[in-house]
Amino acid sequence: MSTLKNQAIALLEELGIEKWMKNIQVMGDEVILDIVSHSPAMHERKRLEQALKAAFAEQLPQVNLKLNISAEAPKPQDPNQIRGNDIPGVKNIIAISSGKGGVGKSTVSANLAISLQKMGFKVGLLDADIYGPSMPTMFDVEGAQPHSVQVDGKSKMKPIESYGVKLLSIGFFAGTDQAVVWRGPMASKALQQMIRDAHWGELDFLLVDLPPGTGDIHLSIVQQIPITGAVIVSTPQHIALADARKGVSMFKMDAINVPVLGIIENMAYFTPAELPENKYYIFGQNGAKELSEKLDVPFLGEIPLVQSIREAADVGRPAALQENSAVSAVYEKITQNIVVSLVERNDTLPPTEAVRITNMAGCAAVKK
C-alpha cells in the first residue's frame, strides 16, 4: 500500500469516519474517496464534505482530494425479523396517501420518486390507484407494456423504467380510454399481481401511490406487504384536512399500525411570475402544518401552486427533473425530510408487519 494511501486512511481513522469509507484510490498526488454518509440529509453530507476537505488541506496539503459522497438507504432494524410478505430485494416501502382526491397526491408521488433517484437511491413506484392510474402519463410511457422475464424458473413482469425509476401501473394493461370497472376483490387481485408477479430487483425505496380515501385497496396493501411508513398529502383547505386527518387515523389504528412519516402540504400558496415576492393563500394558510402539530406527526414541507408542475406532469417529465430550479429544490427538501423521518422510524420502531384483516366491514385486524 502506498505511503499516501496509508496517510489518507490514517487521517480518516483520526477523524473517526474510516468505517464510512467505501473505496479509496490513489493516482499520483490525487486521492479519490468514496464515502457513504451516516445521514441521508443533504446538509449533513455537505458538512461531511467540508470537514474532509478542511482536514486534508491542513494535514495533507499536497493531496488533490476528490470526494464522492453518497447516502445509504435506511434499513429496518432487523430485516430477518420482518413477519409478513416482504418483497425480496426491497428495503423500504413507503405508502403515499391522501384523504380525498384532487390534492395532487400522484404528482407528489412522481416527484418524490424522481428526487430519491437523483439522490442516488434505487427507486420503484407502484401505481396502486387502480381506478385512476396516472403514472404512465406522468412518466411519458403511455402505451408501454411490461415484458416477462424468467426469475428462478418463474415468469415475472419486468417493470417499465423511465428517468431511472421502475414503474408498474394498471394503466399499462388498460387502454387510455378504457374505464376500469371492477369490484373490490378484482381490484385487490390486480394489485396483488403487480406486487407479487413483478421482478422489482434491488430497490432502496418502493413508493406506493395509493388511491384517495380509505378503502379496499388500502386494506389490501397492508395485508400483502409490510409498509415501512406512510406519507399523507393534503392541501391547506379545511375539507381536505378533515379527510387527511382520517388518513392519518387509519394508519395509526392498532389493527394497521403503520408509522406516519409526515404530512405534505400541496398547493400551499400561489406566487405570480410578475410578483415574485407575493404569496396568495388560495386554499388557506398553514392548514396541513397545524394539523401535523395537532396529530403529533412531522410536517414535511409545503409545495407551492406552480403552473410548471402541472405542465411537467402533462408532458410526462416530472418537475423535479428541472435542474437548479425552485420547484426541484422544494421537492428535494421534502424528500430529504422524508428520509430523515424514515431513518428515525427505523432506529426507534420495530419492523412493520403485514396484517390479516378479519373483519373488513369493521376494519378489525390482527397481526400475523
Summarize the annotated binding site for ATP as residue ranges.
99-106
Residues belonging to the binding site are 99-106
Q: Which residue has the cell 441521508?
A: 40
DSSP 170: G
**CA–CA distance, 252 with 127 (Å, rounded to integer):** 23
Q: Residue for cell digits 409490510? A: 226
Whether the Cβ atoms of residue 44 and residue 20 lie closer than 8 Å to each other: no
Q: Are 202 and 159 in contact (CB under 8 A)?
A: no
Contact 260, 230 (CB under 8 A): yes
Residue 227 to residue 159: CA distance in whole angstroms: 20
Type of residue at 115: S
Asked whether the beta carbons of 206 and 126 are under 8 A apart, the reply is yes
Output the CA–CA distances (angstroms, integers) from residue 307 to 313, 324, 332, 352, in the order listed: 10, 17, 18, 38
What 8-state DSSP symbol labels residue 210? P
Which segments of the chain does DSSP mark as H helices, in order? 3-15, 42-59, 105-118, 135-138, 184-196, 216-224, 238-252, 287-295, 307-314, 326-348
Of 84, 163, 82, 95, nearest to 129 by C-alpha is 95
Among 305, 226, 267, smallest CA distance to 98 is for: 267
**How far is the C-alpha of 344 from the C-alpha of 341, rounded, in Å?**
5
End-to-end CA distance of the chain: 53
Could you tell me the three cell numbers for 192?
396483488
Q: Please state, in angstroms and rounded to a whole number, the distance separating the CA atoms of residues 360 and 217.
A: 12
